[in-house]
Amino acid sequence: MKHGLYGILKARFLLDEDAIKNWRFIVFIIGLAIVMIANTQRYEQKVFRIAELNNEVKELRSEFVDRRSELMKLKMESTVAKQMEARLILPSTVPPVKIKVVKEVEKGFFEKLWQ
């Protein structure tokens, strides 16, 4: 046990004749660790981006609701009437009258002949 633990501490397993196998495994483990770190980094970036977009959506939705309520107030008849009073345009006191236009039917060639 002493020689085994002492050999590991001195890294003899990297210097022996069979060291190529060990080096390949170590390089494989290092490459795998790098890939895992890069994958975790990309995942975290996407999570942060999703959180930013969710906040932006909430802000835009609240702004939309505010603008819609403001528009509804501006479209009210009383608001329009107040703004038009400044230009001396008053609402009509006479109700509108519906105008009907009756189209005359054109007579054909034979109908004109028989008249």
Tens of pLDDT along 7-59?
A: 666 676 677 777 777 788 888 999 999 999 999 999 999 999 999 999 999 99
How many separate domains does the chain show? 1
Full residue range of the structural domain in which residue 36 is found: 2-102
Three-state DSSP at 15 gives coil
DSSP state of 104: P
**Tens digit of each residue's pLDDT (9 = 90 or more) over 56-114:** 999 999 999 999 999 999 999 888 888 888 888 888 888 889 999 888 878 777 777 77
Six-digit token pair at 75?
């479209």
In a domain, 111, yes or no: no
In a domain, 51, yes or no: yes
Contact between residue 33 and residue 25 where contact means Cβ atoms under 8 Å apart: no
In a domain, 112, yes or no: no
In a domain, 113, yes or no: no
In a domain, 96, yes or no: yes
In a domain, 107, yes or no: no
In a domain, 109, yes or no: no
